[in-house]
A and B are shown apart, each in its own frame.
Chain A
Amino acid sequence: MAVSVDEAVSTGPARDNPPPARRLGGRGRSALEVALLTVLAVVMLFPVLWMIETSIKENRDVYAIPAKFFDFTVTLEHYRDVFVAPDGGRSALSVSFLNSVVVAGVSTVLATVLGVPAAWAYSRFAVKAKKDQLFFILSTRFMPPVVVVIPIFLMYRQVGLIDNKLGLILIYAAFNVPFTIWMMKGFVDEVPAEYEDAAMLDGYTRLQAFWKFTLPLLVPGIAATAVFALIFSWNEFVFATFLTSSDSVRTAPPAIAGLIGGTTTDWGLVAAASVVFALPVLVFAYLVRRHLIAGVTLGAVRR
Chain B
Amino acid sequence: MLLLVTTVAACGDGKDDGAKASAPKAPATIPELTKDPLTLSFIWFDWPPAQALETFANAEYKKERPNATIKVNTVPNANWHDAMFTQFAARKTDFDIAILDSQHIGEAVTNGNILDLTDFVKNNIEVTAYNPYLLAAYGQFPQAETGKRDENASLYGLPLLGDTWTMIYRKDLIGDKPPQTWDQMISAAEKCQADNPGVSGLAFHQANGSDAAAVTYNTVNGVYGGNLWDAKNRKIDGVLNDAAGQEAMDVLVNKMKPLTAKGSGNWFIDEVNAAVAQGKACIAFNWIAASGGLLDPKQSTLGTTREQILDKLGFATLPSQKTNLVPLGGMGMHVSAYSAAANQAEALNFMKWFERADVQKKWAAAGGVPSRTDALQSPEFLNAGPFNKVYADSVPRMRDMWNVPEYARLVDIENTNVNAALNGAKKPKDALDDIAKEQQSVLDSSNRKGGGGL
Contact = CB atoms under 8 A, between A and B. Distances in A.
Same assembly = yes
Contact of B76 (A153, A154, A247, A260): A260
Contacts of B293: 263-264
A241 B86 CA distance: 11
B86 A162 contact: yes
B363 interface: no
Interface stretch (B109-117, B268-276, B420-428): B268-276
Nearest to A246: B94
Interface string B8-45: 10011000000000000000000000000000000101
Contacts of A246: 73, 94
A154 B11 CA distance: 12
A242 B86 contact: yes
Contact of A262 (B12, B47, B89, B90): B47
B196 to A, nearest CB: 16
A242 B293 CA distance: 30
Given A156-B90, A245-B73, A246-B94, A63 B47 contact: no
B301 interface: yes
Contact of A265 (B79, B83, B270): B270
A264 B47 CA distance: 9
B77 A261 contact: yes
B301 A60 contact: yes
Interface string A257-283: 110111111000000000000000000
A160 interface: yes
Contacts of A265: 270-271, 274
Contact of B79 (A63, A247, A258): A258
A290 interface: no
Interface residues of B, number: 37
Given A162-B92, A245-B75, A245-B94, A263 B87 contact: no
Contacts of B175: none
Interface in B64-93: 73-79, 82-83, 86-87, 89-92
Contacts of B92: 157, 160, 162
Nearest to A255: B76
B270 A247 contact: no
Contacts of A196: none
A261 B94 contact: no
Given A60-B301, A245-B94, A258-B76, A263 B48 contact: yes
Contacts of B87: 162-163, 245
DSSP class of B's interface residues: helix, strand, loop or mixed? helix
A16 B97 CA distance: 64
A104 B83 CA distance: 22
Contacts of B443: none
Contacts of B90: 153, 156-157, 162-163
Nearest to A241: B79
Contacts of A73: none
Contacts of A262: 45-47, 76-77, 269-270
B299 interface: yes
Contacts of A257: 76
Contacts of B12: 154, 158
A157 B274 CA distance: 40
Contacts of B378: none
Interface string B44-61: 011110000000000000
A141 B209 CA distance: 30
Interface in A229-256: 241-242, 245-247, 254
18 contacts: A60-B301, A153-B86, A157-B92, A162-B87, A162-B90, A162-B92, A242-B82, A245-B43, A245-B73, A245-B87, A258-B46, A260-B270, A262-B46, A262-B77, A263-B47, A263-B48, A264-B273, A265-B274
Interface of B: 8, 11-12, 43, 45-48, 73-79, 82-83, 86-87, 89-92, 94, 209, 268-271, 273-274, 278, 290, 292-293, 299, 301
3 nearest CB pairs, A to B? A157-B90, A258-B76, A263-B290
Given A260-B76, A262-B269, 14 more contacts: A63-B274, A153-B89, A156-B90, A157-B89, A160-B92, A162-B92, A163-B87, A163-B90, A241-B79, A245-B83, A245-B87, A262-B46, A264-B273, A264-B299
